[in-house]
């Protein structure tokens, strides 16, 4: 395991939009617009959720820490907020929006020029309690990974029967959806 | 869930190299060259494994089905075969090799011009027993997804402590490595 490193975190955050773009742009809707059932998310929903995070979660919380420390808790994140982001849009539009929003946020983060002291500054999560700037930024990057993990699982689900007896060899088929 | 569809399968197989390239090229080795511990694979190992599959697994097995049906079992796949693929190479070299090998294989698959009858043809897996061409090709695509799932999990593991109390919200942190 590794300690938090700002440049390594930015390196990952910067790459996610292009990775999703390469995987999802033009991909048949069998993969992108079907869920795992029971009201679970489609890949399309997940991209909307990532956009909503760019707009309302990560950088607003980083700024809250710099402005108010732990004196004022973060605003709650709306887990249904993706619905407003995806309404009437195509996957291609969502990928473009995510690319633009992420690029602006990574640029804004870089311009904050955070010091080691800044990274230790504390904020207040409405449910988790005290957290640090470094923890927030690490979580931003791992949040990308948790949704990449989820996207691969949602897509694999569509071929759960098609793979026949191979399903026992395919780990993603045994994943029980902890990454919702 | 969906029935097997050759064009939708090819659409996914065609996109994986570019997705991995966008995610991994130039990414710091913190993310790509560290494992989940205990002899588990790094992301670098996983890309080597994908290359080894291109060379020895998927298309050779598809050709075996067309040539011999279930009269001659598939050759066993060497799960340690990635070691010979990665020796002395950089991540950039592996990504280039995977891109080239996959493009050649997708082209070869398309040129087979498989009919619905071909997709129902049976082969013999050395451990799983009878399988069909469609199951083999569906598994090829889901195998990409199971390793994308694994890659996201290996990377997230590096920040297991860095995210602090957020770990409970991050599904990928609860994934216990069924996708080895």
User: pLDDT at position A66, please?
Assistant: 98
From the list B30, B128, B157, the residue facing A8 with the nearest CB is B30
Is there a contact between A149 and B175 if contact means CB atoms under 8 Å apart?
A: yes
Partners of B3 on chain A (C-beta within 8 Å) are 161-162
- Residue bearing tokens 């799960």: B79
pLDDT in tens, B144-180: 999 999 999 999 999 999 999 999 999 888 887 654 4
Residue with tokens 């070299």: B93
Cα separation, B35 vs B47, whole angstroms: 13
> Cα(B167)–Cα(A94) distance, rounded to whole angstroms?
27
Query: What does the alpha-carbon distance between residue A171 and residue B79 come to, in Å, rounded to a whole number?
Result: 15
Cα–Cα distance list, B68 to B5, B40, B130 (Å): 23, 36, 13
B126: confidence class by pLDDT, cuts 50, 70, 90: very high
At A179, is the pLDDT very low, low, confident or very high (cuts 50, 70, 90)? very low
Q: How many residues does chain B have?
A: 180
Q: What is the pLDDT of residue A11?
A: 98
Asked if A152 and B149 come within 8 Å (Cβ–Cβ), the reply is yes
Q: What is the pLDDT of residues A20-64, one digit of tens each?
A: 999 999 999 999 999 999 999 999 999 999 999 999 999 999 999
Higher per-residue pLDDT: A153 or B79: A153
Kindly list the residues from chain A whose CB atom is less than 8 angstroms away from the CB atom of residue B50: none
* pLDDT(B105) > 90: yes
Specify the range with the lowest mean pLDDT, choosing from A101-110, A169-178, B85-94.
Answer: A169-178
Integer CA distances (angstroms), B12 to B17, B98, B153, in order:
10, 15, 21
Can you read off the two tokens belonging to residue B35?
Answer: 């494992």
The structure tokens listed for B135 are: 């199951």
Whether the per-residue pLDDT at B89 is higher than 50: the answer is yes
* Mean pLDDT computed over B76-85: 91
Interface with B, mutate which of A166, A168, A173, A180 (most B CBs under 10 A)? A166
Terminal-to-terminal C-alpha distance of chain B: 24
Cβ–Cβ below 8 Å for B164 and A138: yes
Residue B52: band (very low, low, confident or very high) from pLDDT cuts 50, 70, 90 = very high
* Cα–Cα distance list, B89 to A12, B22, B84, B125 (Å): 22, 19, 10, 32
* Each residue's pLDDT tens digit, A1-20: 679 999 999 999 999 999 99
Q: Which residues of B touch A178 (CB under 8 A)?
A: 171-172, 174-175
**Helices (H), strands (E): how many in chain B?**
9, 2
Q: CA distances (Å), B8 to each of A85, A160, B137, in order?
A: 27, 15, 11
User: What is the 3-class SS of B87-134, one letter each residue?
Assistant: CCCCHHHHHHHHHHHHHHHHHHHHHHCCCHHHHHCEEEECCCEEEEHH
Residue tagged 């599959």 (tokens) = B53
Cα gap B150→B152, rounded to integer Å: 5
Cβ partners under 8 Å of residue B134, min gap 6 = A162, B4, B119, B120
What is the pLDDT, as a whole number, of residue B180? Answer: 42
A129-132 and A122-125 strand pairing: antiparallel
B174·A170 Cβ contact <8 A: no
**pLDDT given at position A2:** 76
| A110: phi then psi, degrees, rounded to nearest 5 | -60, -40
Taking a C-beta distance cutoff of 8 angstroms, is the pair B11, B18 a contact? no
Q: Does A153 touch chain B (CB under 8 A)?
A: yes
Residue A63 contacts by C-beta under 8 Å, 6 or more apart in sequence? none
């Amino acid at each position: 395991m590794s300690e938090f490193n700002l440049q390594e975190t930015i390196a990952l955050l910067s790459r996610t939009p292009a990775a999703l773009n390469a995987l999802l742009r033009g991909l048949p809707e069998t993969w992108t617009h079907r869920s795992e059932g029971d009201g679970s998310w489609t890949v399309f929903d997940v991209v909307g959720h990532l956009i909503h995070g760019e707009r309302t979660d990560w950088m607003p919380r980083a700024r809250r820490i710099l402005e108010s420390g732990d004196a004022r808790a973060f605003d709650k994140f709306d887990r249904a907020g993706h619905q407003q982001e995806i309404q009437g849009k195509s996957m291609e539009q969502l990928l473009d929006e995510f690319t633009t929003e992420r690029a602006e946020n990574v640029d804004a983060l870089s311009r904050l020029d955070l010091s080691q002291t800044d990274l230790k500054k504390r904020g207040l999560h409405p449910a988790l309690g005290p957290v640090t700037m470094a923890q927030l930024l690490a979580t931003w990057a791992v949040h990308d990974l948790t949704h990449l993990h989820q996207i691969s699982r949602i897509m694999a689900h569509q071929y759960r029967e098609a793979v026949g007896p191979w399903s026992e060899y395919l780990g993603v088929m045994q994943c029980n959806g902890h990454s919702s």
